[in-house]
Copies of this chain bind each other. A is one copy, B any other.
Amino acid sequence: MIKPNFRHEINGKKLASAIAQDYETNEVLMLAFIDEEAYDKTIESGKAHYYSTSRDKIWLKGEESGHIQEVKEILFDCDKDAIIFKIKQNGGACHTGHYSCFYQKLSEDNNTLINIGKDVFNPDEVY
């Protein structure tokens, strides 16, 4: 089975990077790290799993919120240390209630972040 190259030492653990991208619009929804166990569970279940270096464990995206990511396709980059999960996002990817975690745009003077995100749920009701 093809696997990513978990070659980067990130916060003390060998990991690869995983980008979650909407499979229909190509909007980038989040970036996280992944280890072999999280990758294997993603392949087995068809649902995106990642590795949290702050909690030092793998997690099923949406395990608490129900906002599961169904993996439609996986792309590998040239040296296989980064992958893209093309996904169907249920609910929203961001714990703030936005559809994408990348909801802030740098202003032209570089001094402000402008909220350009789509609010898709109320985090107070979900978490």
Contacts and interface: CB of A to CB of B under 8 A. Distances in A.
A102 B25 CA distance: 17
Interface of A: 1-2, 8-12, 17, 19, 21, 25-28, 30-31, 43, 53, 73-78, 80, 82, 84, 94-96, 98, 101-107, 110-113, 116
Q: How many copies does the complex hold?
A: 2
Nearest to A30: B77
Contact of A78 (B43, B73, B94): B94
Nearest to A98: B78
A104 B3 CA distance: 12
Nearest to A95: B78
Contacts of A75: 102-106, 116
Nearest to A21: B28
17 contacts: A2-B107, A2-B110, A9-B12, A19-B19, A26-B27, A30-B82, A43-B110, A75-B104, A75-B105, A75-B106, A76-B105, A76-B113, A77-B101, A77-B102, A77-B103, A78-B94, A80-B104
A104 B76 contact: yes
